[in-house]
């Protein structure tokens, strides 16, 4: 069976000519009266409580749910124009999950509505040999299986004659659409280039459209003769926040029982949380929104906010970590089992070989030399050590002892011993070390790292830095200790705006220095999710008690920093906060439930 699919599977039903009018680029609205028949109707009942007639976030590439963002609509228009003008080769690339397959199905459906176009869809384009690739294409274009004895030249000639008959005599347009094009080998790409040479004086006989991941780009760059024939080249990118929100609303409208009043299942912060977690990749958006909808059904809620979306994100990450943990455990057990079997096999075989070699030596010699006597196995005898007599040394001649004159030693001053210094703190009791820049003071650094600079913290810092007197000099390493876990319950309630993240104290403080130009004051936030593993983040100096002001602050940040910023909240019991809350933060926790004014 050829690794392709008949494009008739993606064509709309022509029998329903009297149905609803086409929408959004000529696409016919799905007939909901027939979609939910059979076993699918049981699944739809789960979504009826949310005002939905079908699943809005299915992971199948349904062309009905393709949101016509600006880049997707532009790409479809460019592809259609290039194909209808018979321009030859078109390539669409993008990272994983940017909507290439769904766009491919929409394009197949769009071309399938024209009876003058014959579409061939190849879903798995990997072939070990070029001849296997030609045999599949021969079956596509001719409609029959090639004979077993045909050579590559005969296959190409048969394809050329068929394309000429369809394109010139019948006036039909032949289009080959390849999905997962990154699997194409260089040999198959070269054969595609040869197929593009089949043309008349006025037009090309075959149009090729390739949808591939970005792994194909360096391959095309090395094949300049093929890259030069690309007429339309489009690269898909992730969606921005407004497009992400519009995509979710469009899918909810398509799946709604009443399209005039689709359900609004996400709050504004919920949309923002989906965008932040998915980074605008359509596949991630669909997967996360599906989990959120299931969570709404389980909790019997009508709307998802920022907390519910973040809870679904955390649940998904824990599942991934659990799967990797199980896989790693299985791999370790497998390696240990293989090592044990190999060790036992080596010990047994080695022992047998050794015993056979020693025990059968005389027997083997007797078989090879019949006249030779068998060798006796003798045990090695102990050779006694020879007794050596050592002659005594002659006595030394006796000399008269001459008493030397006594010389009194000169008294030397005794150097004072240095005072013992305190031992440096062990690594387990350190946050890390950093070097002060010119103009920085010890109090300012401690305040930035711990959130406060009281006398106790300053004394602890001086205690783990022996020999430090007064202000430390710039450039000299400054060790900062690990303070006790802060038991302040207000820390669990606060929402912090993170603008940078680092793995070490020195790297985090460098990020803090680089972001010092921001109007909002910053500090380091240090915590532990597991014992001995410190986490460092550059956050705003003041926390928030609600999401709205934190989200407003994120929106006011400059472009790239705004995309990387996120909200942090430590609601888990096992999180240890290694820092202090200043008086302003404590007053905020005691006051009304609102964030600081901007």
Looking up tokens 């005599």 gives 169
Round to whole Å and give the CA distance between 314 and 288: 11
Residue 463 token pair: 């205690």
- 100 band by pLDDT with thresholds 50, 70 and 90: very high
Residue 29: how many CB atoms within 10 A of its CB? Answer: 14
What pLDDT is attached to residue 552? 78
Tokens 């009791």 identify what position? 429
Q: Give residue-wise pLDDT tens across range 423-455.
A: 555 666 788 888 888 888 888 888 888 888 888
- The Cα–Cα gap between 273 and 281 comes to 13
| Residue range(s) defining the domain that contains residue 463 | 430-590
Residue 111 belongs to a domain with what CATH number?
A: 3.40.50.300
| Residue 434 token pair | 């950093």
Cα–Cα dist 211/95, whole Å: 11
DSSP 8-class letter at 115: T
Q: How many domains does the chain have?
A: 2
CA distance 205 to 165: 9
Per-residue pLDDT tens over the stretch 116-155: 999 999 999 999 999 999 999 999 999 889 998 899 999 9
| Residue 210 included in any domain | yes
Which backbone phi and psi does 517 adopt, to 5 degrees? Answer: -75, -15
pTM of the full structure: 0.50
Question: Is 436 domain-assigned?
Answer: yes
Q: Which of 236, 261, 294 is the last residue of a domain?
A: 236
Confidence of residue 564 (pLDDT cuts 50, 70, 90): confident
Q: Tell me, what's the pLDDT at 592?
A: 54
Q: pLDDT digit string (tens) for 363-387?
A: 544 444 444 444 444 444 444 444 4
Q: Among 236, 262, 283, give the residue marking a domain's end.
A: 236
Q: Which two tokens stand for residue 10?
A: 């993606």
Distance in angstroms (rounded) separating the CA atoms of residues 379 and 530:
63
Task: Assess if residue 329 is contained within a domain.
Answer: no
35: helix, strand or coil: helix
**d(C-alpha 211, C-alpha 49), whole Å:** 38
234: helix, coil or strand? strand
82 found inside a domain: yes
What is the CA angle 324-328-330, rounded to 5? 120
Bridge partners, 539 (sequence order): 498, 523
Q: Which of 196, 212, 236 finishes a domain?
A: 236
**What confidence tens digit (pLDDT) does each residue in 283-317 have?**
999 999 999 999 888 888 888 999 899 988 887 66
Among all chains, which residue has been given the structure tokens 């020693």? 358
**Among 37-41, 50-54, 131-135, 510-514, which is the least confidently predicted range?**
37-41
Q: Which CA distances in Å does 529 have to 123, 172, 569?
A: 45, 65, 13
Q: Give the Cα separation of 104 and 213 in Å (integer).
A: 13
pLDDT tens string 162-195: 999 999 989 899 999 999 999 999 999 999 999 9
Return the structure tokens found at 235: 């690269």
**Structure tokens belonging to residue 464:** 């783990």
Can you tell me the distance from the alpha carbon of 168 to that of 203, in angstroms, rounded to the nearest whole number? 10
Nearest Cα to 491, choosing from 448, 526, 463?
Answer: 526
Query: Does the structure show a pLDDT above 70 at 30?
Result: no
Chain-centroid distance, C-alpha 321? 12
3-class secondary-structure state, position 176: strand
DSSP secondary structure letter of residue 1: -
pLDDT (0 to 100) of residue 547 = 78
The predicted structure's pLDDT at residue 521: 86
**Structure token digits, residue 438:** 């010119």
CA distance 560 to 425: 39
Highest mean pLDDT among 270-279, 324-333, 341-350, 352-361: 270-279
pLDDT for the residue 191: 94
pLDDT at 23: 40
Question: Is 287 inside any structural domain?
Answer: no
Q: How many Å apart are CA 519 and CA 525, to the nearest integer? A: 18
Q: What is the pLDDT of residues 533-563, one digit of tens each?
A: 888 999 988 888 887 788 778 878 887 787 7
Note whether residue 54 is domain-resident. Answer: no
The CA distance from 397 to 167, in Å, is 126
Looking at per-residue pLDDT, the higher value among 84 and 404 belongs to: 84
Residue 352 located in a structural domain: no
Do 292 and 304 meet the contact criterion of CB atoms below 8 Å apart? yes
The residue among 122 and 421 whose pLDDT is bigger is 122
Instruction: Give the whole-angstrom CA distance, residue 91 versus residue 49.
Output: 43
d(CA 196, CA 223): 15
Domain for residue 332, yes or no? no
How many whole angstroms separate alpha carbon 454 and alpha carbon 447? 9
Sheet containing strand 566-568, strands side by side: 566-568, 496-502, 533-540, 522-530, 576-577
Q: Tell me: the pLDDT tens digits for 341-368?
A: 655 544 443 333 333 444 444 454 444 4
């Amino acid at each position: 069976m050829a690794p392709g699919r008949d494009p008739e599977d993606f064509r709309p039903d022509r029998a329903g000519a009297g149905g609803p009018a086409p929408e959004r680029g000529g696409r016919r609205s799905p007939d909901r009266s027939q979609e939910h028949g059979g076993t699918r109707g049981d699944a739809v009942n789960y979504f009826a409580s949310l005002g939905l007639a079908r699943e809005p976030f299915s992971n199948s590439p349904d062309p009905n749910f393709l949101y016509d963002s600006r880049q997707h609509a532009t790409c479809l228009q460019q592809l259609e124009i290039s194909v209808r003008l018979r321009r030859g080769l078109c390539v669409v690339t993008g990272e994983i999950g940017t909507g290439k397959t769904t766009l491919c199905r929409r394009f197949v459906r769009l071309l399938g509505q024209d009876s003058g176009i014959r579409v061939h869809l190849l879903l798995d384009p990997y072939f070990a040999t070029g001849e296997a690739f030609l045999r599949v294409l021969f079956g596509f274009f001719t409609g029959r299986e090639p004979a077993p004895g045909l050579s590559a030249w005969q296959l190409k000639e048969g394809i050329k004659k068929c394309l000429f008959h369809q394109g010139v005599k019948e006036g039909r347009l032949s289009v080959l659409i390849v999905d997962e094009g990154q699997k194409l080998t260089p040999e198959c790409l070269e054969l595609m280039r040869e197929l593009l040479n089949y043309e008349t004086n006025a037009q090309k006989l075959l149009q090729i459209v390739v949808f591939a991941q970005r792994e194909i780009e360096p391959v095309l760059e090395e094949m300049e003769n093929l890259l030069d024939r690309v007429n339309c080249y489009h690269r898909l990118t992730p969606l921005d926040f407004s497009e992400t929100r519009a995509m979710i609303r469009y899918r909810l409208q398509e799946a709604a029982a009443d399209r005039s009043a689709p359900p609004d299942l996400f709050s504004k912060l919920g949309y923002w949380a989906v965008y932040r977690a998915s980074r605008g990749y359509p596949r991630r958006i669909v997967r996360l929104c599906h989990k959120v909808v299931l969570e709404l059904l389980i909790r019997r809620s009508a709307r998802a906010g920022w907390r519910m979306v973040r809870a679904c994100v955390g649940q998904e990450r824990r599942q991934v970590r659990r799967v990797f943990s199980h896989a790693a455990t299985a791999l370790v057990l497998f390696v240990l089992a293989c090592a044990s079997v190999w060790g036992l096999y080596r010990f047994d075989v080695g022992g047998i070989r050794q015993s056979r070699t020693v025990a059968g030596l005389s027997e083997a010699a007797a078989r090879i030399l019949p006249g030779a006597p068998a060798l006796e196995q003798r045990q090695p005898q102990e050779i006694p050590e020879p007794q050596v007599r050592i002659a005594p040394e002659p006595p030394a001649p006796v000399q008269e002892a001459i008493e030397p004159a006594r010389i009194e030693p000169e008294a030397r001053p005794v150097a004072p011993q240095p005072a013992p210094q305190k031992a440096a703190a062990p690594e387990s009791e350190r946050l890390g070390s950093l070097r002060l820049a010119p103009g920085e003071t010890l109090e300012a650094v401690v305040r930035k790292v711990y959130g406060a600079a009281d006398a106790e913290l300053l004394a602890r810092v001086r205690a783990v830095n022996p020999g430090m007197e007064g202000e430390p000099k710039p450039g000299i390493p400054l060790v900062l200790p690990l303070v006790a876990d802060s038991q302040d319950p207000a820390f669990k309630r606060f929402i912090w705006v993170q603008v940078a993240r680092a793995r070490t104290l020195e790297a985090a403080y460098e990020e803090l220095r680089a972001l010092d130009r921001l109007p909002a004051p910053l500090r380091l936030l240090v915590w532990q999710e597991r014992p001995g593993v410190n986490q460092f983040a550059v956050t705003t100096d003041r926390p928030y008690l609600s999401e709205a002001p934190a989200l407003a602050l994120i929106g006011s940040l400059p472009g790239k920093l705004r995309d990387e910023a996120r909200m942090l909240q430590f609601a888990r019991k096992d999180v240890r906060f290694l820092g202090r809350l200043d008086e302003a933060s404590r007053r905020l926790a005691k006051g009304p439930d609102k964030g600081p004014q901007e």
